[in-house]
Amino acid sequence: MDLIKTLNEYFDTVEESLNSVENINWQGSSNELIGCFQVGNNKYRIECIKQIGNNYTYTFSYFINDEWSYELTNLGIGGFSVLSTVIYGMDHLYNKYCPNSIIFSTIDDSDTRKRLYRSHCDRFCKKNNYKLSNRGDSKNLLFVLFKDNISETEKEEIFDSSKKIIEQGK
């Protein structure tokens, strides 16, 4: 019986963490939107950078050893509030600029995180009437969330923006 109680308490803590969005301090312009937030003693940054046309990259990093790192870390249960905050940040970008596409990449060995990203992308696309394309290998994935009801020129800008991101390696 103690096992069930312990599991229920753990799942309650995970659910609470998943539902808690940290306060994001946003700064920027129409070409760049930077959001910073903190979970515990860890500092995080979301960068939304305008690319070609109305297309934005979306990157996430954390501060370690006096620099911003894109390599992810496992923070246990607290990491779920990081995930929910990053998801909220993508919604903020959508609501503020309604981009033709949001492009982000992952460099991660964790299959669990990749499934979480994919699940979030599916929900985001369904909610906002976007399409999803993702390509990559077991470690590197590129996610492109995009409007489908746009002109051929705008679709070409999405392709060019994605190509630019791949060539930059980020």
Q: Quick one: pLDDT at residue 76?
A: 60
Helix/strand/coil percentages in the chain, nearest 5: 40, 35, 25
Identify whether 46 is part of a domain: no
Identify whether 116 is part of a domain: yes
The total number of structural domains in the chain stands at 1
- Domain residues for the domain of 11 are 2-25+51-56+74-168
Q: What are phi and psi of 59, to 5 degrees?
A: -120, 155
Identify whether 67 is part of a domain: no
Q: What is the pTM of this model?
A: 0.82
Report the length, in residues, of the chain: 170
Round to whole Å and give the CA distance between 16 and 128. Answer: 25
Identify whether 103 is part of a domain: yes
Q: Quick one: pLDDT at residue 106?
A: 74
Identify whether 36 is part of a domain: no
pLDDT-derived band of residue 83, with 50, 70 and 90 as boundaries? confident
Residue-wise pLDDT tens digits, 18-48: 567 889 999 988 799 999 999 888 899 999 9
